[in-house]
Amino acid sequence: MVLSALLFDVGNTLLHEEPPRFEIYAQAARSRGRNITAQTMERLMRTAHEDVPKRTRGAFRYSDPWFRAYIHRIFCQNLGLAPTEVASITDELFARFEDPATFRVFPGARELLDELKAQGVRLAVVSNWSERLPKVLEGLDLAALFDEVLCSATEKLEKPDPAIFAAAIERLAVPAAAALHVGDNPEKDGAAREVGIDFVLLDHFGKHRGTELARVTSFEELRGLLGARLAG
C-alpha cells in the first residue's frame, strides 16, 4: 500500500540535546559542589527512571510532577543536596529543556519533512516526552509541519504501549497499513508494528548494527527508502 502517513519519534530521531542530557544534569550537580561525571549521572538517571513509578501521585511519567519526583530522587536522595537546592535545580532543568537552544535538529530532517508535507503526506510526532514538546517544536520551526503531536505526558500513554500508535493513526484518519513509524529505539518504537504500522529504525549513532529490522543511519538514507513506497 502507498504510504499516506509517517509518524516520528523525537529524541535521537528528529533532534538531540547538545550537550547530552546526562551532561546537562551533571552540570547542575557540579554547580552545587558535587563532582560528578556525565557517566555517573547517566547511571543515577537510569536507576531513578526505573525507581520512580510510572504514575506518581496521580501524575503520569514525564509530566512536571513526575519529573519533580525524579529530580528529587537524583539530587536529594542520591547526591544529598538540600530540598531548597533541589527546587532551584528543578526550575533550572525545566527551563533548560524548554529552551529550543538546548536541541539540535539532525541534518536533513527539516528538508525531508518539508518534502513530505508538500506531497500531502500526513505527519505526526509520537514521543515519550513532557508537556513542553509542542513549545520545543515551535521554537525549532518544526511544529507547523506536523498534523498531530502525541506526547506521553499529555496522552498518559507511553511507548512501547501500542495504544499510543493506534491513537496517532486514528487522529490522522489513515489505515495502519498506509502508515510508517520512524524511531531510534527497536523496542519502544518498534511496538508500532503491533498495531500494523510498519517501522524503520533510524540509527544515527550506529548502536544497532546487525539488526534484522529495516534500518537507516540518516535522513538522506530514509528519503531513499521512502521513495518507492511514496510513489506507489
Percent helix, strand and coil across the chain, each to the nearest 5 = 50, 15, 35
Q: Which amino acid is at 164?
A: I
Name every residue whose Cβ is closer than 8 Å to that of residue 46 and which is 6 or more positions away in sequence. none
120-149 pLDDT per residue, tens: 999 999 999 999 999 999 999 999 999 999
CA distance 14 to 201: 12
pTM score, two decimals? 0.96
Tell me the three cell numbers of residue 211.
539488526
Extract the residue ranges of the chain whose pLDDT is less than 70: 231-232
Q: Which residues of 83-99 are buried (b: 16+ CB within 10 A; e: fewer)?
A: eebbbebbeebbebbee
